[in-house]
Amino acid sequence: MHRHGYKGRKFHRETDQRRALVKGLADSLVKYESIETTLPKAKEVVPYVEKLITKAKKADLHNRRQVISGLQTVASAHKLVDEIAPKLGGRNSGHLRIEKTALRRGDNAQLARVSFVDDLAAAPVAAAATPAPAAKKPAAKPAIKETN
């Protein structure tokens, strides 16, 4: 048997447990802005959160609801849409980075830190996220009545 066409990692878990694991990791990443986990879990959660960030940048009602369904808590979903996504407006993709850190003492598993590429504390809200006020048109000249 070959593995052609099978995407993703199983982590020795059933489907619902795997989905809950990735959702929980994504929720923690949004909440704490940086998490440390094993390397395979980090590689699995990064594309998941990247897609959520792309939806959060649009910030309309439908995408907000999709972000809420993709994270475990509503509070972290609102944080992603209202606070984090506007700060990432200058980037199209590549919002997260994975850095290998250490080997875990108990089982020698490779650990990795997942964090945002941009410093969210110092990053101002992107100019594209806040619409500029519309330029006012000059007042129309009053019509001149001709008298004969």
Give the pLDDT of residue 71.
97
Distance, in Å, from the CA atom of 101 to the CA atom of 125, rounded to the nearest integer, reads 30
- Count Cβ atoms within 10 A of the Cβ of residue 94 and give its class: 0-12 exposed, 13-18 middle, 19 or more buried: exposed
Sorted by where each starts, the structural domains of the chain and their CATH numbers stand as 15-116 (3.90.1030.10)
pTM score: 0.80
Number of H helices and number of E strands within the chain? 5, 3
Query: Once rounded to an integer, what is the mean pLDDT over residues 25-46?
Result: 97
Answer whether residue 17 shows pLDDT above 80. yes
Answer whether residue 131 shows pLDDT above 60. no
With CA atoms as reference, report the closest residue to 100 among 117, 113, 116: 113
Distance, in Å, from the CA atom of 131 to the CA atom of 75, rounded to the nearest integer, reads 25
* Residue 59 or residue 128, greater confidence: 59
Give the pLDDT of residue 129.
47
